[in-house]
Structure 1
Amino acid sequence: MEQHGPSIRAQAVELMRQGVPNRTVAERFDVPRGTVGWWRSEDRRARGETYERPTDCPRCTGREFDKVAYAYLLGLYLGDGHIVSKRKQHHLSVFCNATQIGLISAAEDAMRRVMPSPSVRQRHKPGCIEVKSYTKHWTCLFPQHGPGKKHERRIALEPWQQEIIEAHPWEFIRGLVHSDGCRITNWTTRTVAGERKRYEYPRYFFTNVSEDIRRLYTDTLDRLGVEWTHCTRNGNPYNISIARRASVALMDAHVGPKY
């Protein structure tokens, strides 16, 4: 076909060398985008050029980024997130309860605010939504990534991460609670003037098997003046409880229940 002739291909390659996107070249010459992509790949190979996908990774480019969103996303990652980093597959995933559409939206928004270029998608699974962002550079922003489960290896923040958490502690706490925490209503009964009465009170729980992650949570609570206690269940000290009225009020003002 005429539009696939050597002349058209040469013009297309010249435009691509000038930085014109594949989509624009394909539309200009009425050529399938797959064909244009193959021309670009063959041209690079002929010139011995190694392709590096463009990135807006803050750690690699030095650009400023949304640190408030990052503090929240770090909390989500340490709780219910993980990174897949293989030769041909790289993505950050955060798992959310399928009924908590506000949390799903907040997770997706945080990913886009921290690193706008990578694509972000939702994958539906039984009972949950996996929010995924595709780029190998998430390992630059989350150096806690490594082989095995988080509770089986040491989790410590880099100095630059610690600075962000100290500047935006409530966002970090909110991310942790939104991933591995909850706000519930407890109740008890008391006898008052001979009458048995029921009393209800709100309470926050955070549950994580990693002692390092629990310590990051409680150390941040200490700096914020939030009182907390260990709550051992079935012999496992994995639960952190916040029940005192003033501390619950602080958490309600800055965190709130998942939605």
Structure 2
Amino acid sequence: MYDISKRHHALRLLEQGLTVSEVSRRTGISRYALREWRLRVDQGRDLYAVRSSHCPRCSGVPRKPEHPRAYAYLLGLYLGDGCISPVGDPAKKIWALRISCANSWPGIMRECAEAVHAIRPDNKIRFIPCTGCTEVNSHSKHWPCLFPQHGPGKKHQRKIELETWQQEIVDEFAEAFVRGLIHSDGCRVMNRVRRPCRDGDRWYEYPRYNFTNVSMDIQRLFTDALDRLGVQWTQMNRKNISVARREAVARLDEFVGPKY
């Protein structure tokens, strides 16, 4: 990083009429940096402001994202229906965060995009049509820093563990994390039960939440968060978890509810 005196010296040379290329040759400063500094001055911005590519995990002292609630929600979406993959020239090390959102629930798609924007506000968000769904897509060099669960292969074929800083966020914002997981791999449905009676069978209906994920590690993260929230759950089979007790459903209704 160039110190402030070198930045001011380079700007004075530009003010004297030298071209960006000439100043770059004299000072050894990249032309990209020179153009960025000149633009900052023209726009009245701080010359020493942090660049938009700043990452809370790999720049300086690592810290948590500035919007932990949005991060907890986005982490839930990523663990359910998200992936990170390289794009463009491998030497540039740019990654795409891809979250698949069903077209049936545009509200979730908007909420996903809002969470992405909160975490990487300077990165463009794209909506890519796919069969039956839309991919919320954003490019950054830092998605693997923010989601260290990224790796080769499918998530259920590798170990999924949260780092300490992620676990602290999930513990504090368990509701947002569960909301993200259910919005990706869960649903709220009306369950119908038939019970025989003397005068014929009767049908009863009651709401329940289902969560489906092949990864046992992701299931454990989901149930650990439910335990933290005091929500009772049942393991239906190897890949399905159910929340059906009236008080547990009412608790989830407070911050999840039907998809929209």
**In 2, distance between residues paired with 1:20 and 1:91?**
30
| Equivalent residue, structure 2, for 1:47 | none
1:108 aligns with 2:113: yes
Q: How many residues align?
A: 221
Whole-Å separation in 2 of the counterparts to 1:21 and 1:144: 37
Contact 1:56/1:116 (<8 A) preserved: no
Match of 2:58 in 1: 60
Tell me, yes or no, if the aligned pair for 1:189 and 1:197 is still in contact at 8 Å. yes
Identity %: 49
Counterpart check, 1:82 vs 2:83: yes
Matches of 1:101 and 1:208, distance apart in 2:
22
TM-score using structure 1 length: 0.78
In structure 1, what is the Cα distance between the partners aligned to 2:245 and 2:53?
46
Give the C-alpha shift of residue 136 in structure 1. Answer: 1.7
- Counterpart secondary structure, 2:251: helix
Does residue 236 of structure 2 align to residue 238 of structure 1?
A: no
Match of 1:95 among 89, 92, 100: 100
Match of 1:143 in 2: 148
* Cross-structure match for 2:209: 204
Provide the C-alpha distance between the structure 2 equivalents of 1:58 and 1:105, rounded to a whole number of angstroms.
24
SS in 2 for 1:200: strand
Q: State the match for 2:19 in structure 1.
A: 11
Report whether the alignment pairs 1:162 with 2:142. Answer: no
What is the rounded CA distance, in whole Å, between the counterparts of 2:134 and 2:18 in structure 1?
45
Deviation by residue 1:183-205 (Cα, 9 ceiling, x = unmatched) = 11111233557353321111111
Q: Secondary structure at the match of 1:82?
A: strand
User: Which runs of structure 1 show a deviation greater than 4 angstroms over 4 or more consecutive aligned residues?
Assistant: 12-16
Task: Quote the Cα distance in structure 2 between the aligned partners of 1:238 and 1:248.
Answer: 20
1:190 maps to: 195
Deviation at 1:147, TM superposition (A): 0.7
**1:73 has 2:70 as partner:** no
1:213 is matched with which residue: 218, 232, 247? Answer: 218
Aligned with 2:179 (options 169, 174, 180): 174
CA RMSD, Structure 1 to Structure 2 (Å): 2.5
1:96-128 deviation digits (Å, cap 9, x = unpaired): 001210011011000110121111111011110
Q: How high is the TM-score relative to the length of structure 2?
A: 0.78
The 5 A counterparts of 1:19-38 are: 19-21=37-39
Q: Secondary structure at the match of 2:37?
A: coil
Corresponding residue of 1:225: 230
SS at match of 2:145: helix
* Structure 1: gaps spanning 5 or more residues: 1-8, 26-52
Gaps of 5+ in 2: 1-16, 24-30, 44-50
